[in-house]
Structure 1
Amino acid sequence: MSGDVQEDNALQDALRRAGLRVTPQRMMVLAALAAGEGHMTADEIFDLVRREYPFLNRSTVYRTLDRLVELGLVAVTDLGEGVRQYELIGTQPHHHLICQRCGVTIDLADEVLQPLRARLQEEYGFAARMDHFAIFGLCRVCQPDGSSDD
């Protein structure tokens, strides 16, 4: 799980920009997220961190994740499995289309949601925070009248 120096420095800088102290616990959780492939549950993060730091408390991981989400460094989403999953927020927010039949997940560019953000602001005076959005439905293949040939 030990990241490279450049990655560690970037994570430390992100914590400082968010106004947080750089603590070993925060760095461990961020490093686990950086090492993970995409979305991870809190338990997966805890298990990964415990390999190197066996005395870490599970509640510390949960508290750290909550704080990182609150500060916008980590996104939390339920991708339809009833479990909160976490992911580092990169330089650009990203979103997902999730098929409720076959489970395929399709990445959705942030630009697609920009008109929705603008309309929510204009019509409702609501500044939507959509850093990591999941939209459920049926993919092209699973739609009753859909076909996979284009």
Structure 2
Amino acid sequence: IEKYSYIFEWLKLFDLNIIIILAVMILVATINMVVALLVLILERTQMIGILKALGSNNWSVRKIFLYNAFYLIVRGLFWGNLIGISLLVIQQYFGIIKLNPENYYVKQAPVYINLGYILLLNLLTVTVCFLVLLIPSYIITKISPVKAIRFD
């Protein structure tokens, strides 16, 4: 280990890069979900006004939009996991991505599928997105029913 310590340092740096890339991806996905929810709220402003005029409280109207956003998150995670895990399984069994064995000491790019990591990442993604989506859904509480019904 001491003889090739620079390789292990390089591997630690690689792990840090993976964490940074995943954090940036989750940040971008979260921003996209916030924007999508804001657009959805703006498109449905009249519906919000009608629901409030009929007596719905703010939390029940917010729940409608949060459930819709949660559905979009789960659907995106499903398709992302399906495609990603499928590509990993294909690489693991068929070795589509070939490497030069003289440089890398292996013939194909090795993959490691850990369902625990995948589930943890999905759970964290859903939790972070849901918590961040509470903020734009708060806008619903500020919408006046009379102004919302007249909104064009």
Asked if these proteins are the same fold (TM beyond 0.5), I'd say no
Task: Give the number of the structure whose residues are more often helix, by fraction.
Answer: 2
Task: Give the number of the structure whose residues are more often strand, by fraction.
Answer: 1
TM-score category (smaller protein): under 0.3
- Larger relative contact order (Cα-Cα within 8 Å, sequence gap ≥ 6): 2
TM-score, normalised relative to structure 1: 0.27
TM-score, normalised relative to structure 2: 0.27
